[in-house]
Amino acid sequence: MGIPDFQSLMLPVLRFAADGQEHAKRDVVNVLADTFGLTDAERAEMLPSGQQHTFDNRVQWAIVYMKHAGLLEYVRRGVFRGTGRGMEVLRQNPSRIDTKFLSQYPEFNEFRSGSRRERNGHLPAPQGLQDQQDQEVQQTPEERLEDGYQRIRLELAQELLARIMGCSPSFFERLVVELLVKMGYGGSRKDAGEAIGRSGDEGIDGIIKEDRLGLDTIYIQAKRWQGTIGRPEIQRFTGALIGQRARKGIFITTSDFSREAREYVSHIDSKIVLIDGEQLAQLMIDFGVGVSVATVYEIKKVDSDYFSEI
C-alpha cells in the first residue's frame, strides 16, 4: 500500500481525536501506522535529509493543516485535541478531508495565501502562488522543499560530470586527491598531491595515506571513462595492488561499473572500493569540491525553552 500522503491522513487523525481528549502526536503516529498496516521499513523511512521519519512528517502536517482550519487545537507542545468544529465535521461523515475541503474555512485560506501578512503590511504572496496552492498537493512542505533540493543536486551532479569530462586526465587525478583529502584521507593536500603519478605502476594513478599518521596506504585509480568499466579493468588494478603488496584501493570513474566488476570486488581478499560517476559527483557536492554555495535557506522552529517561565 505504501505510506499515505498527508492529505489522506487528515480524516483518520481527526477521527482519532474524536473523543475530545488530549493526545500526543507520537500516539496518533503509532496508531495510524498500525491502521494503515505500514511495514517496519515504511515506518523507518526517512525524508531525504535524514532529519525526520516520512510518516511522522506527514502526520504532523495533517495536524498542522487541520489546526489552521480550526478542526484541531494545540494544548501544549506535541499535544493536541479535537475542537467543536472538528466534531461537527465528523458528524457530517465526510468521505475525505483534504486541502479542498479545508478551504471552506477563512482561517485556513489566510494560512495558505498569506492574506494576514498582506494586511499587516508585509510583502504580498508571489504571483501565481495561489494557483499553485489551489492544486491538490500530495507532499508536505518539507517533502516539496526536499524534492526540489534533490532535483537541484541531480542537475548539479550532471553538470559536474560534464565539466570533468572536458578537463585533462591530470586535472581529474588532482580532483580525486583533493576530494579524498576533504573526506579525511591523506593528511595535508600537499602530501597527498606529491603521491600522484609517482608509482609508475600499471593500473595505479596515485597513492594516498589512509589517515594523517600514515598507518596504511590506499592506492588510487582515477579514470575519465565514457563506457561501462568491466571486470578486466578491475582485475588489472587488483594485480597492480598485489604487485605492491597493497591491501586497499579506490577505483574512481566518471562512468559506471558493470555488475560483473562489482561482484568481483566483493569476492577478493583486497579491499577495493568502486566509486562511479554519480557517487563521485554527489561526494563532490557534499564535501564542497568544485562547487560553491549560491543560496542558503534556513528552516527554523519555535524555541520552547525561550518561552518557558522560571
CA distances from 11 to 16, 51, 71, 190, 197 (A): 9, 26, 10, 61, 64
Per residue in 43-54, pLDDT (tens digit) is 999 987 777 899
**214 alpha-carbon distance from chain centroid:** 33
pLDDT of residue 198: 47
Per residue in 270-294, pLDDT (tens digit) is 899 999 999 999 999 999 999 998 8
How much of the chain, in percent, has pLDDT values that exceed 90? 47
Choose the weakest-confidence range: 85-99, 102-116, 194-208: 194-208
Report the alpha-carbon distance of residue 288 to residue 282 in Å, rounded: 10
The boundaries of every CATH 3.40.1350.10 domain in the chain are: 161-286
Residue 238 near residue 201 (C-beta atoms within 8 A): no
Residue 47 near residue 144 (C-beta atoms within 8 A): no
Q: Which residues are paired to 76 by β-bridges?
A: 79
Alpha helices in 166-215 (DSSP H): 169-182, 189-195
| 220 CB-contact burial (10 Å; exposed 0-12 / middle 13-18 / buried 19+) | buried
| 78 CB-contact burial (10 Å; exposed 0-12 / middle 13-18 / buried 19+) | middle
Domain 161-286: assigned CATH number: 3.40.1350.10
Confidence of residue 299 (pLDDT cuts 50, 70, 90): confident
Kindly report the pTM of this predicted structure: 0.66
Q: Which residues are paired to 2 by β-bridges?
A: none
